Chain A
């Protein structure tokens, strides 16, 4: 009975922590978790992946593919002209307003916030790839 209660509370705790997206810290609440098979398993199952997806840089090849896809899907762009070195205005025939829209589309694709000062510097696909690859929170 006592054991079951402990298990339940640690499961609940795991679920709540996961929901709130608090990064796991082994020393925190160690007394409650260590040696408790369920809590440990849940923690390993969910937190390790979460830390992985929120805290590391994306692979540059993946970023390149996804950036190029976003650009190719932009309605005014001819997909056959898109390459990593394409300049939005010179090579792809976009205007400055379109460039703003494309950069906003990158924000949505990768779940990052690009500040105005950085957004103004992104004028080619390569600029976007470099910026996103340097953002640890990009996903």
Chain B
């Protein structure tokens, strides 16, 4: 039902939010701070750009999003092979004096 709905009309809000959540969960797997923050930012921007699409455009954007999620999944594997040895300075927590 959900799959048919996505192919024909606009996806339900809950489906979109679940897709967004899946992106963020996948994003956590990237060890490199820069890559991780980039994907997070890019995900948010893309979802917000698609806010006011009509039904047909929203459906194709949703399908595109699902494909992009697979891309992120594959990339998380690739990047895990080249994980940085040291943390980015942005990740370090300094003691406030």
Q: Is the CB of A116 within 8 A of B44?
A: no
Q: Is the CB of A116 within 8 A of B18?
A: yes
For the side of the interface on A, what is the size category? under 10
Residues of B4-33 at the interface with A, using a CB-CB cut-off of 8 Å, are 13-14, 17-18, 20-21, 24-25
- A97 and B13 contact, Cβ closer than 8 Å, known pairs A104-B24, A116-B21, A119-B21: no
For the side of the interface on B, what is the size category? 10 to 19
The 0/1 profile, CB within 8 Å of B marked 1, for residues 95-124 of chain A is 111001100100000000000100110000
Chief secondary structure at chain B's binding surface: helix
Q: Is the CB of B13 within 8 A of A100?
A: no
Nearest-Cβ distance from residue A70 to partner chain B, whole angstroms: 15
The distance in angstroms between the C-alpha atoms of A138 and B54, with both chains bound, is 41
Nearest B residue to A104 by beta-carbon distance? Answer: B24
**Residue among B17, B18, B20, B47 with the highest chain A CB neighbour number at 10 A:** B17
User: Which residues of chain B are within 8 angstroms of A119 by Cβ–Cβ distance?
Assistant: 21
Q: Is the CB of B17 within 8 A of A104?
A: no
Interface residues of chain B, those whose CB is within 8 Å of chain A, are 13-14, 17-18, 20-21, 24-25, 44, 47-48
20 A-B contacts (beta carbon < 8 Å):
A96-B13, A97-B17, A97-B20, A97-B44, A97-B47, A97-B48, A100-B17, A100-B20, A100-B21, A100-B24, A101-B24, A101-B44, A104-B21, A104-B24, A104-B25, A116-B18, A116-B21, A119-B21, A120-B14, A120-B17
Additional A-B contacts beyond A100-B21, A104-B25, A116-B18 (11; CB < 8 A): A96-B13, A97-B44, A97-B47, A100-B17, A100-B20, A100-B24, A104-B21, A116-B21, A119-B21, A120-B14, A120-B17
